[in-house]
Amino acid sequence: MSEPTVIARKQGRAGRITLNRPKALHSLNSDMVKRMTDALVKWEVDESVELIVVDHAEGTRGFCAGGDVRMLAESGAKDGKEAREFFAAEYRLNTLIKEYPKPYVAIIDGVTMGGGVGISVHGDYRVATPNTLFAMPESGIGLFPDVGGGWFLPRLPGELGMWLALTGERLKGEDVLAVGVATHFAEETDGLADALCEAGISALDGLKTEAGASFTDHIPEIDACFAKQSVEEIVSCLQAGSDWAQGQAAGLKKKSPLTLKIAHRQLHEGGQCKDFRENMRMEYRIASRLVLTKSFHEGVRAVLIDKDDKPDWTPGSLEEVRPVILNTFFETLGEDELKFIGEK
């Protein structure tokens, strides 16, 4: 018998969830999403559970490195049904975490990307460590910063969210606290999950809650350039800036033009959403359609399958992503987009 992909049990005051898919850096699959959801739903009404603690199996360098991208690509090459079902389940889990009535603590000790961001950043407390590596790298494979990225990214200080969404920039250690993705920083986490289970939220007392960013000198350029009203203007602004800014522009030119345009609009619309569910409905519209595109399939081929890192994007330039193309990803799906989060 293989071990479960998620170990969910009551410990002390807490419901403790340990991600346990180490060979994949605990990347989420459908089984993991279901196990987490089932545990959270059960503990929501269990008076003996005062808080939720989420960590990952010891001895691995990932908290949660993303989602099952290969499955999404294989499904998208057919009818996309399995991909839509996965997105629906994952987004329901994100919404459950966001609306959870009890304190939710995620110890993001290691690689935290994509799906791993979705099961951590929407909780009340996120503890980063020197091992934390945070990113939303979807633009590099033709996806978009989903799992609630349209909600939390535009609500970070200044234009940091747009910068992270478009570039897929990786943040390490205290930088994750500095931007507001983490709420606390621990130099080491030995015994922290156990302490939270036994003592509750007070176990976070004494941890660092403020930090300066290593990229502080670049924040003025980030705020100036990434506030532009189009991706083309952002690239032009960066190209006219410092060596660092020009490097950022060069990086954007390697990303999927379609993804960049989608993410830019996603963050603008998500920033205007009145509640989290409204944002998640928008992301479900995008995800359901994007997995069917040549852009996504080519990104997966270039980065994950052939690993030549030379994607031939379709459309091939920002100018080719015309408004009529972009609009199709944001159009309503009708009743289906309400069903996915349990609304009637």
Catalytic residue positions, numbered: 67, 115, 138, 146
Give the other-Cβ count within 10 Å of 180's Cβ: 15
**What is the separation of C-alpha 42 from the centre of its chain, rounded to a whole number of angstroms?**
25
Amino acid letter, residue 172: K
Residue found under tokens 């997995």? 291
Question: Which two structure tokens, joined as six digits, stand for 306?
Answer: 């052939």
Q: Which residues of 219-255 are buried (b: 16+ CB within 10 A; e: fewer)?
A: eebbebbbebeebbebbebbeebeeebeebbebbeeb
**Longest CA–CA separation in the chain, Å:** 59
Give the other-Cβ count within 10 Å of 7's Cβ: 16
DSSP 284-310: HHHHHHHTTSHHHHHHHIIIIIS----
Angle at 118 between CA 9 and CA 128, to 5 degrees: 75
